[in-house]
Every structure is written in structure tokens, then in C-alpha cells.
Amino acid sequence: MRLWEANHSYYCSESNFYSRDPHTKWDMWSSFVEEFGNSDLDYNLVFRWDWYEGDDWGAGEYNGDDYYRNGRLLMFFIMQRKGIFACHEISVCRADEPSVITFLKPRLAYLRDLWAPLDSAAGIPVHTVGGDDVG
């Protein structure tokens, strides 16, 4: 699956309920990653991303050119130390996907590490969700 094909089951708000500050917009991926590429994973916890293409999402249709910026990548952060929620909207093209994946993979690994103790927790009851056992 390509990142622009992912369809998350629920949306995430681009704004912070407790702040009037708008979300931050970036004209291109390279500018965003220059600023956040080496950001501390604790202080800038990425918990979600959404890559949108098409007019339904306020982005252009793909025209066959992988360098045509027809995508909107939303990157959602929690700045844990200060309790700040932030959304960054980045104008992306399909050619940016390998770099986006490179950025996201260590953040996914970090999230897995945060939740790893749950995997080994003893005595966790099994719950049923939609008829399927979970736990």
C-alpha cells in the first residue's frame, strides 16, 4: 500500500480545541523535514499522519507526474513536555514518499516501544470488539 492510499477509520482535527493558533503549513516536504527531521522523539511525538490527494480533500488530482504537488500530508504531534497538540500540513508529491517513510519509521518504532509493556502484561483480560477477541 502506498501512503496516499491509506484511509484511516476516523479523522483527526487539524486545530487545537484549547488554542486559537492555526495549524502550520509547509510549501514542500524538504522544508518540513529540514526543520523536524532530527527532532526529539519524546518532545515531538508523532501519533498520526494522513496523506490526502484529490479534490475531495482540497488537493489536486494526480496527473501522472510524481513531482506534481497534488498531495496534502497532515502530520500530528503531541509535544509531551508542554502538553501541546500541533498539526503540520505539508504540500507533497508522490516522489516525496520514500523520504516521508524514512521520517515516519523511527517514530513508529518509538510508539511501539511506548506500548511494548502492554504486550508482556500478565493477566490482561480478553475483550470482545465487534465479535472478535482482542487482548
| Residue 67, in any domain of the structure | yes
Mean pLDDT of 119-124: 70
Helix (H, G, I), strand (E, B) or coil at 25: strand
| Residue 30, in any domain of the structure | yes
* Cα distance between residue 74 and residue 72, in whole Å: 6
* Cα distance between residue 89 and residue 13, in whole Å: 12
CA 88 from chain centre, in angstroms, equals 9
Mean pLDDT of 8-35: 87
Residues 6+ away with beta carbon under 8 Å from 72:
51, 52, 53, 57, 58, 59, 89, 90, 91, 92
Q: What is the pLDDT of residue 119?
A: 77
By the 8 A CB rule, do 95 and 73 touch? no
For 75-117, how does the pLDDT look when each residue is reduced to its tens digit (9 = 90+)? 999 998 888 889 999 999 999 999 999 999 999 999 999 988 8
| Residue 4, in any domain of the structure | no
Evaluate if residue 127 carries a pLDDT over 70.
no
For 24-64, how does the pLDDT look when each residue is reduced to its tens digit (9 = 90+)? 999 999 999 999 999 989 899 999 999 999 887 777 789 99
Structural domain span for residue 55: 13-115
| Residue 126, in any domain of the structure | no
Alpha helices in the chain (DSSP H): 29-36, 97-119
The total number of structural domains in the chain stands at: 1
Q: Of 19 and 128, which is predicted with more confidence?
A: 19
Alpha helices in 23-68 (DSSP H): 29-36
Nearest to 106 by CA among 28, 41, 16, 55: 41
| Residue 52, in any domain of the structure | yes
